Amino acid sequence: MTGTPEPSASGLLADIADVGRDRTRGGYSRHVFDTAELELREWFAGEARRRGLDLEQDRCGNLWAWWGAPGPDAVVTGSHLDSVPGGGAFDGPLGVVSALTAVDILRARGVTPAKPLGVVVFSEEEGGRFGVPCLGSRLLTGSLPAEKALRLRDPDGTTFADAVRGAGLDPERIGADPDFVGRIGRFVELHVEQGRGLIDLGGPVAVGSTVIAHGRWRLTFAGQGNHAGATPMDDRRDPMLPAAETVAAVRRIAASAPGTRATVGRLAANPGGTNVIASTVDLWLDARGPDVPSVVRDVESAARAAAEAEGCTVALSEESWGDEVVFDPALRDAVSAQLGGVPALPTGAGHDAAVLSAHVPAAMLYVRNPTGVSHAPEEFAEDSDVDAGAEALATVLSGLSA
């Protein structure tokens, strides 16, 4: 009689493959405390219980599953389950399923960690609902003030305070928990590679070297809403025009700033009627690289000039910022050595590991993505590389928790 197959990381990914599919955008849309993400939290809790791990939710809504009583010098691994709108299947969940599978592999190898081993699921890493990336890890570590987070609103106008209340958390308790973070000795996040790094290197796994500095800004252009047909072309103050010119300016400015990646992926015209000249247009800027402040200054001056030419105004506000992070070199090299010397890759993507690295030694493991595409349905990793990643994570956790 064939026994039930050993759970594998690729098998666990298949278990959640239908949760949060976005039938209109394609890919997945899973955002903090929405139906899909709550279903994934339940799934994670079930998988943790199946492995006899002790579950807890911290005051900021991040989920933790412990092998051994949580205590000082714990080795923690994990990632996130939320996605960008229309995102891929691997960004986030791959780190979570690999962590659960690494527990299975350690047990199959007869390894009992000498240190507490934790598996964490951080909330709202993508900022897909409330606009601030790594919301859960930033709140827990104190790098985002609770009062600022509680006021954040989602596109429907729901505040983060109401969303956490709805999820059974106490908004009054949201905030930094240094005792909780103090339990963590080392943190290792496994993540699907979000570029071509491993394709070009020809290997299934790499360690992380740096995370690019990155931030998000909102620009609101305001003009005069009006009738699309009754308003002569020379009698308009249409905010859509400076917004469109700013999108083009972002590409031009970024193209001439070495190492810069700047994107406008989200625009919102208000009120958004086909036969209505917009009264305001919101544009969100994602800018990353070695000299973001000067790039944002150039974008802002282009936006102001375009707005003025159309008799409009523009207001710019910063929504999030993360400095460049260099992962702990000693931990990076130890992780690489445990894997026989895998290459170290920089990344243009932000991660909870980068937030944690300001508080505890943190490392990242990347698993090859043969498409080189991420934040889109084409994001992919072969089962063989997924399983190689879980084996590598188990080896690293075994070494760190010995």
Cα–Cα distance measured from residue 117 to residue 109, given in angstroms and rounded to the nearest whole number: 16
Q: Please say which residue, 56 or 318, places its beta carbon nearer to ligand HGY.
A: 318
**Residue positions in the annotated binding site?**
80, 91, 126, 191, 216, 275, 288, 375
Does 349 participate in binding ligand HGY (rule CB under 6 A)? yes
Residues 203-262 that bind ligand HGY (CB under 6 A): none
**Residue 304: CB minimum distance to Mn ion, A:** 31
Nearest residue to the partner Mn ion, using Cβ: 351
Q: Please say which residue, 190 or 312, places its beta carbon nearer to ligand HGY.
A: 190
Closest by CA to 368, choosing from 207, 198, 194, is 198
Across the chain, how many H-helices and E-strands are there?
13, 15
**Residue 325: CB minimum distance to ligand HGY, A:** 12
Q: Please say which residue, 322 or 389, places its beta carbon nearer to ligand HGY.
A: 322
350 interacts with, out of Mn ion, ligand HGY, none, CB within 5 to 8 A per kind: ligand HGY
Stretch that binds ligand HGY, among 6-14, 49-57, 125-133, 390-398 (CB under 6 A): 125-133
Q: Please say which residue, 135 or 278, places its beta carbon nearer to ligand HGY.
A: 135
Instruction: Give every CB contact of residue 32 below 8 A, 6+ residues apart in sequence.
Output: 61, 82, 123, 124, 128, 129, 130, 135, 136, 163
92 interacts with, out of ligand HGY, Mn ion, none, CB within 5 to 8 A per kind: Mn ion
Does 350 participate in binding ligand HGY (rule CB under 6 A)? yes
Residues contributing to the site for Mn ion (CB under 5 A):
91-92, 351
Cis peptide before 204 (omega within 30 of 0): no
**Residue 249: CB minimum distance to ligand HGY, A:** 22
Half-sphere exposure of 244 (CA within 13 A, CB side): 7
Q: Please say which residue, 104 or 126, places its beta carbon nearer to ligand HGY.
A: 126
Q: Please say which residue, 225 or 350, places its beta carbon nearer to ligand HGY.
A: 350
Name the E strands within 251-324. 261-270, 276-277, 280-288, 313-322
Cα–Cα distance measured from residue 191 to residue 378, given in angstroms and rounded to the nearest whole number: 16
Does 133 participate in binding ligand HGY (rule CB under 6 A)? yes
193 interacts with, out of Mn ion, ligand HGY, none, CB within 5 to 8 A per kind: none
**Residue positions in the annotated binding site for allantoate?**
216, 275, 288
**Residue positions in the annotated binding site for Zn(2+)?**
80, 91, 126, 191, 375
Cα–Cα distance measured from residue 312 to residue 248, given in angstroms and rounded to the nearest whole number: 18
**254 alpha-carbon distance from chain centroid:** 22
Q: Please say which residue, 194 or 246, places its beta carbon nearer to Mn ion.
A: 194
Q: 173: which DSSP letter? A: G
**Residue 114: CB minimum distance to ligand HGY, A:** 33
**Residue 55 backbone phi and psi in degrees, to 5:** -90, 140
Does 303 participate in binding ligand HGY (rule CB under 6 A)? no
Say if residues 230 and 127 touch (Cβ distance below 8 Å): no
Beta bridge partners of 284: 218, 266
Say if residues 127 and 134 touch (Cβ distance below 8 Å): yes
Residues near ligand HGY (CB under 6 A) are 125-126, 133, 349-350
